[in-house]
Every structure is written in structure tokens, then in C-alpha cells.
Amino acid sequence: MPPRRTTPKGYEKARKLRKEPTPAEAKLWAYLRGNKLNGINFRRQHAIGNYIPDFCSPKAKMVIELDGSQHLEQEEYDKERTKYLASQGYKVVRFWNNQVMNDIDGVIRAIVFALDEK
């Protein structure tokens, strides 16, 4: 049996987060869901270890994080989180919430570009 990717508490927290997306998460999810982005499957709030990235494509090994103003004060935590996810083989791509809300086309282009680099 393969090892679990997180704890039961991690799975539960991810389920709760999926039920209450931020406006930016909801907007980006409309573009990512249903393999709409070059046939790549993304999941919302997919727990990996002790972390729950906003969006994750296990097959493409990509994580998309949306950052709000609170991330200005947690820079060290975000670095640690990115380092852990990279150690698990994931490429981490970050966007500010206002980028998603004001330039969704640019965000989608950047994601497609990052997928092509992988």
C-alpha cells in the first residue's frame, strides 16, 4: 500500500477549504476545472504533507498558489512551504489575488507557459 500523502486532519482541512474558496480561487478554478487547461487535471486544496496548496496537478507535478495581502507577513513560511513542495517534485507557481481578479488571461498564459517548461 502506498504511503499517505497527508494525515486524516490534513484531508479534513482540505475538504473544508474547498467549501469556502476565496473569490480569486473561485475565478481561477472556473478556468482550471474539468481539464480545460491543455487537458491537464488540477485539484483544489490538494493536501501534500503538512501543506494544502490552492491548486495542484499531481500528474504535471505543478502547484499553483494564490497569495493575498497576508502573505506579505509570512514570507518565511511561504519559502519553507515552497521548498518542501519542490522536494516532493512539484513546481510551484505563485500569483497575487489581484492578478487573478484583474488579469486572468495573463495568469492563464503564465500557467500554460510554466506547464510547457516542465
Query: Model pTM?
Result: 0.85
Strands (E), 12-85: 43-44, 55-57, 62-67
Res 42: pLDDT: 95
CATH number at residue 20: 3.40.960.10
**Residue 61 belongs to some domain of the structure:** yes
Q: Tell me which of 32-36, 74-78, 98-102, 110-114 is least confident.
A: 74-78
Decide if pLDDT at 85 tops 60: yes
Residues 17-76 pLDDT 10s: 888 899 999 999 999 998 888 889 999 999 998 899 999 999 999 999 998 866 456 788
**Residue 42 belongs to some domain of the structure:** yes
**Residue 3 belongs to some domain of the structure:** no
Give me the long-range contacts of 106-109 (CB less than 8 A, separation at least 24). Answer: 107/28, 108/31, 108/37
**Residue 2 belongs to some domain of the structure:** no
User: Residue 75: which domain range?
Assistant: 8-117
More confident residue, 115 or 12: 115
**Residue 52 belongs to some domain of the structure:** yes
Instruction: Please state the domain count of the chain.
Output: 1
